[in-house]
Amino acid sequence: MSSLLKIENLHVSVGETEILKGVDLELRQGEVHALMGPNGSGKSTLAYALVGHPKYEITEGSITIDDKDIIELDPAQRARLGMFLAFQYPVTIPGVKVADFLRHAISNVRNPDRKEGEELMPMRDFRKELRSTMQELNIDAEFARRYLNDGFSGGEKKRMEILQLAMLKPKFAILDETDSGLDSDAVRVVSEGLKKLSGPHMGVLIITHHERLLEYNIPQYTHVMLAGRIVETGDAELAQELHNNGYAGIRERHPEAAAEEEAAKETTTV
């Protein structure tokens, strides 16, 4: 049985401001969905709410995995249930080696009952797996010994996210603009990487502005977000259309949301 991530009527606020205003979305293991929408429409907010960022408060609605409500779970517990986010802006953690961090992460995610201080995954097995995964993704083995994202280029950071995805093998992977800010070679590497990794065991939600990632990973569904709501859902062709023509058509078809978008812009620029 494939697992189901179900988002119903999700409202999310940061501080006093409501950003998501009722989002519904179902992502099944094995499916690929694209999430598009203009800057500031709330795509990253949805991603953060899904992994449990403490700043993003859920005021209404639910998130379930196979009917289990996960809203009360912290990010670590959600990760153990198979949630993963490739961050739009991965943070730097000085002094923490990629390999040490990943070994820890894997030990927890693969053994959800593991308690603090208990055995980590055996070093040999871990090293072997890390090395071969890095090779597969064309990442220099030397990165394992570097400090997490410390001094990494934009492309290197994004590849590091893909490496973590490959090692952690989540049930649900959200990629937040993993293809942004990269040169075309790097975009290709990331797109091919994801294609290799996805399959029947992974549900993927791709947040993107570009077509390359979607060419390699053709979505069954495309969702368009505007002013904190999913205003349209279509297939791969919708993604293609948005890519060619931008969001003018969407705004025309959804004047109320477009007006809300305008209003939000004004309050933030004042």
Ligand X SMILES: Nc1ncnc2c1ncn2[C@@H]1O[C@H](COP(=O)(O)OP(=O)(O)O)[C@@H](O)[C@H]1O
Under the criterion CB under 5 A, does residue 45 sit at the interface with Mg ion?
Answer: no
Binding partner at 45 among other proteins, ligand X, Mg ion, none, C-beta below 5 to 8 Å by kind: ligand X
Under the criterion CB under 5 A, does residue 44 sit at the interface with Mg ion?
Answer: yes
Q: Which part of the chain contacts Mg ion (CB under 5 A), choosing from 20-28, 39-47, 111-119, 211-219?
A: 39-47
| Residues 17-36 contacting ligand X, CB under 6 A | 19
Under the criterion CB under 8 A, does residue 15 sit at the interface with other proteins?
Answer: no
What is the nearest approach in angstroms of other proteins to the Cβ of residue 246? 31
Burial of residue 119 (CB within 10 Å: 0-12, 13-18, 19+) is: exposed
Q: If residue 63 lies in a helix (H) or strand (E), which one and from where to where?
A: strand 57-65
Under the criterion CB under 6 A, does residue 40 sit at the interface with ligand X?
Answer: yes
For helices 184-197 and 154-168, give the axis angle rounded to 10 degrees: 0
- Using CB under 6 A as the binding criterion, the count of chain residues that bind ligand X stands at 13
What is the nearest approach in angstroms of other proteins to the Cβ of residue 104? 6
- Three-state DSSP at 164 gives helix
In 3D, which of 128, 129, 108 has the Cα closest to residue 117? 108
Local structure of residue 115 (DSSP, 8 states): P
Under the criterion CB under 6 A, does residue 164 sit at the interface with ligand X?
Answer: no
In this structure, what are the phi and psi dihedrals at residue 9, rounded to the nearest 5 degrees?
Answer: 45, 50
Binding partner at 14 among Mg ion, ligand X, other proteins, none, C-beta below 5 to 8 Å by kind: ligand X
Binding partner at 156 among ligand X, Mg ion, other proteins, none, C-beta below 5 to 8 Å by kind: none
Who contacts 244 (Cβ-Cβ below 8 Å, separation ≥6)? none
| Residues 192-221 contacting other proteins, CB under 8 A | none
Under the criterion CB under 8 A, does residue 95 sit at the interface with other proteins?
Answer: yes
Local structure of residue 50 (DSSP, 8 states): H
- Three-state DSSP at 179 gives coil
Residues that bind ligand X (CB under 6 A): 14, 19, 37, 39-45, 55, 264, 268
